[in-house]
Structures are given as structure tokens and as C-alpha cells.
Structure 1
Amino acid sequence: MTADMLLAGIVLLGSSVQWLTGMGFALVAVPALILLLGPAQGVALANCAAGAICLVGLAGGRQRVRPGAMVPLCAAAACTVPAGAWMTRRLPGPVLLLVMGGLVTGAVLLVMRGARVPALRGTKGAVVAGATGGFMNAAAGVGGPPVSLYALNAGWTVREFVPNAMFYGVLVNAFSVAANGVPELSGARWGWVVAAMLLGGLAGRALAARIPERRARLLVLLLALTGGITTVAKGLWGLKGL
């Protein structure tokens, strides 16, 4: 019961920040999920939950999706998802924790810095961002940061970014679930997860009207950074036993 409640709390927090800021479920939830469920199951659950949240969130903004950017982004992601899934199955647990924690930490630092990268502009930039995001999503459950950096370098507003990020999230998570499979959870645990996602959505929408967007995003990134560093530390500790 304690583990189930902890799982629900992680999903609740991730869902809340996703609805609050338009990003962040995977960044916040993945480090805790892989520590609780293990790397493979944690990533698989993150893929399922993030994909479902993006699908619901896309319903109100699909008219603002940019096909010209989404086609190369999603096509490139589809090509690299299998490589990320292969890595997840092959690496030893501690090494995988180290890699996942490093990817989360590095991605957060890049987003916080607001890196301007000439290679992330135009169609070429969409391909680079999509390929990187697809690999990271299947390997570590965090495919959003490369798309965030692409949007930043393309000069998108938040209003433009959110529906396109949701569209990308639906497809890249569907690709990742196809490659990684569905997490092996009991019926009761799935019930906790679904309930937490619903409550998180309600909480996030309620908080969105009260917390400034800039402050909310900073909180998300700080939580994700803490989780990434913790995962790296656990991976380093586990390497001692190899």
C-alpha cells in the first residue's frame, strides 16, 4: 500500500506540473519512477502516462499544430526510438540509472540556460531535435527538452509551443510504448495511476490561475534537476557493486 501511494504521489505531482506549465511530467516523474519501479518499468509507465496526458491536452489546441515542423520532428523520432529502447534493455541497471540521470540533468540545464543553437533551426533543426528527443524518450522517458530548445530557437511563443509539444508527445510516446511495451502493473496499481492523473489534472488547472507561469516553470525545472542528480548518485553508488 505504501508503494502504491508513493507511485500515485509521483504521478499526481507529474500530472499537476504538466497541466500547470504545459511541460514537465517526464522531467519531474521519471527520476522517481525509475527509482521506485526500476529503469525499464519506470520509463514504460512514463511513456504511457505522458502520452495519455498529451492526448487529452491536445484536444483543445489541435488547430494550432504546425504540420511543417511536426512532420520532420516526428519522423526523425520514429527512426531513433528503437535505438533508445535497445539501450534500455541492454545496459546494466546502475549504468542505466547513471545514463538516465545524466540525460535528465543535462536536458534541464540546457533548458534553464535557454541555449541558442543554430543547428536547431529550420527543417534541419526539426530533424535533429526530433531524432534526439525520440532516442531520449525511449531510453529515459524524457523526450521533451530537445523540442523545447527547437521551439526556443524557432522563436515560438508559449501559446504556439504547447499544442505542438502535445502533438509531438502523443506520437513519440506511442512510438516508445510500441518499442518498450506496457508496464507490468497490477490492476490496483493502474487504478492508483489513473486516479492520480485525473486529480493531478484538476490540481494543475486550479493552480495555473494562481501561480505565474515563469515561477511555475522554474519550480518544475528545479524538481527535475534534483531528481536527475539523485538518479545519477544512485547509479554511481550501484556501480560499486558491479
Structure 2
Amino acid sequence: MALSRPEARATAGLSWPGAGPQTAVLSIVLVVAAIAAGTSMQRVAGMGFAMISAPMLVLLLGPREGVLLVNLAGALTSALVMSRVWREVEWRRLGVLAPTGAVGVLAGAVVAARTPAALLEVVVGSLIALGLTAVLLARRATPVRGNPITVLFGAVSGASSVMAGTAGPAMSVYAVLVRWDQRRMAATVQPFFVVIALGSVVAKSVAGPATLPDFSIAMWAACLAAALGGLAVGELVSRRVAARAARRLTFVVAYLGSLSTIVHGVVGLTG
């Protein structure tokens, strides 16, 4: 029986019916490049892997396999970055963010199971964009303190991860509200993102069948090499980027992530 288009994309070296070997090779190169570029951005800005890699991976692999690969590769990327910055991690703050983020993932999975995915993307992306704008307008206001704001944004970040595939923008809003030091923020969100990404994988597996791309061992090795190469490039760039520039880059990445989420949702609603 012939494979459907999304299924065929995830098999036999990323090829599909009618595609020649050159197309398959190009697809492999694009997957590897997407993972490498996303990892580099994650190391420099502290976030951005999903925003950089997800569009290409979903296009090449289809929504189910592509998103699941983004979640797993995102967890690996955050773990790799954490290995370089763990001395800067604020473990006490992480102790509040991680469990509330996990609760947010569970709540988001319940909502996602009852709501069209495209509508969720539009709503979550719009709320995050509005939050980022509000923070920009009020960036000179008195910083917010206390655990309640940490609990709130940990949960929101976890929920937005499983509902719209993006946890970073909510963390960017939180970082500005509490005036979080850029280096410590970029380090602390890495283990947080690992928890959120793996939690999203588990939630999706419970909610329905979760399938990984049918890659060969060589292709999986190429993906790992891409992540390690991207980390090395990001390491070099991060040494030459000032904290203020990195903070601005984080905000730009968060904005682009929220806007791409909205656009993707609108396309899904109108398509």
C-alpha cells in the first residue's frame, strides 16, 4: 500500500513518492541545518531552538513527527547548553519553576485535547505578543518580586509549550518583569526547558499516538552531530555578545516566536 505524503516524508531518508535522491539529500541537509541553527540560537540567547527549527522540521516531516522531534531535540539542546552554563543556574528559582511548569504542561494537555490546535496557537501567540508589548511599555516600572509571579509564569510557560509548541516567550516576559540577570536567566531556563519538553512528549504520548521519524542510525547520529556543532558555534558567538545585546536578542526571538505561532495558527484555521 502506498504511503501517505506525511508518512512517506518520515521514511527512507526523508524521501517521498516521486522525489529523486537529490531531493532526499537536500531534505537531510535541511533537517541537520535546522537543528544546528536552533542549537546555536539557544546557546546565544538562552532560547529560540523551537522558533528556528520547528518550521523546517514540521514542513519536512509533517506535524506529528516534526513537532515530536522538535520536543526531543529541544530537550537535548537545553541539556547540552546547561552543561556549559550550569554554574550560573539559580537552583532555588528553578525549584519553583520546574514543578509549576510541569503542572502547566498537564493543564495545557487537557485544554489542547479539547480545542483545535490552530485556535490554541492563535490565542497563546496573541497573549504572549501582548505580554511582551506590555512589558516593553512598562520596562521602567518597579520590578515584580516574590514566588507568586514565578509560579504563574512557570505554569503559563508549561501550558504554552504543550498547546502551541513554545515555552520561551513566556519566560522572556517573566525575565523582564523581575529584572532577571541575562546570564542567570539563560542558564536557569535550560533545565526548565528540559522538564517542559520531556513533559510535553509524555503528555502527547498519553493523549494519542506519538511517532518519531523513521530515521536510520546514521541520520540520528547526524542530528546529534548537528546539535553538538551548533553548540560549538553558539559558544563562540556568546563569548563575543554583550549581556545587553543578548537580552535584546532574547526579546526579539520571543517576539518572532509569538508572531510565527500566530501566523501558523491563522494558516491552520483558514487552510
**Counterpart in 2 of 1:20?**
44
- Report the AA paired with residue 79 of structure 2: L
Unmatched tracts of structure 1, length 5 or more? none
1:184 aligns with 2:212: yes
Indicate if the aligned counterparts of 2:166 and 2:257 stay in contact, CA closer than 8 A.
no
Q: Relative contact order (alpha carbons < 8 A, sep ≥ 6): 1 or 2 greater? A: 1
Identical aligned residues as a percent: 30
Rounded to whole Å, the distance in 2 between the matches of 1:110 and 1:51 is: 29
**Counterpart in 1 of 2:82?**
58
1:144, CA displacement in angstroms? 2.4
1:43 aligns with 2:67: yes
Indicate if the aligned counterparts of 2:100 and 2:155 stay in contact, CA closer than 8 A.
yes
CA shift in 2, pair 1:90/1:193, >3 Å: farther
1:152-192 deviation line (CA, Å, top 9, x unaligned) = 33333223222211221222222222212465112235344
Rounded to whole Å, the distance in 1 between the matches of 2:141 and 2:164 is: 23
Normalising by structure 2, report the TM-score.
0.71
Rounded to whole Å, the distance in 2 between the matches of 1:183 and 1:106 is: 34
CA shift in 2, pair 1:75/1:219, >3 Å: closer
**Counterpart in 1 of 2:154?**
130
- Report the AA paired with residue 86 of structure 2: R
Q: What aligned pairs does 1:33-182 form with structure 2 within 5 A after superposition?
A: 33-92=57-116, 94-95=118-119, 98-99=122-123, 102=126, 105=129, 121-181=145-205
1:81, CA displacement in angstroms? 0.6
CA shift in 2, pair 1:22/1:112, >3 Å: farther
- Report the AA paired with residue 197 of structure 2: N
Rounded to whole Å, the distance in 2 between the matches of 1:183 and 1:108 is: 34
**Counterpart in 1 of 2:226?**
196
Indicate if the aligned counterparts of 1:39 and 1:96 stay in contact, CA closer than 8 A.
no
Indicate if the aligned counterparts of 2:169 and 2:257 stay in contact, CA closer than 8 A.
no
1:3-55 deviation line (CA, Å, top 9, x unaligned) = 33222222121111111222221233334444444444333222212211222
Moved more, 180-189 or 193-202: 180-189
- Whichever of the two has the greater Rg, that structure is 2
Rounded to whole Å, the distance in 2 between the matches of 1:117 and 1:26 is: 30
**Counterpart in 1 of 2:14?**
none
Rounded to whole Å, the distance in 1 between the matches of 2:261 and 2:60 is: 11
Indicate if the aligned counterparts of 1:30 and 1:140 stay in contact, CA closer than 8 A.
no
**Counterpart in 2 of 1:206?**
236
- Report the AA paired with residue 185 of structure 1: P
Normalising by structure 1, report the TM-score.
0.78
Moved more, 76-85 or 128-137: 76-85
Number of residue equivalences: 241
1:193, CA displacement in angstroms? 2.5
Rounded to whole Å, the distance in 1 between the matches of 2:46 and 2:118 is: 31
- Report the AA paired with residue 175 of structure 1: G
1:5 aligns with 2:38: no
Unmatched tracts of structure 2, length 5 or more? 1-23
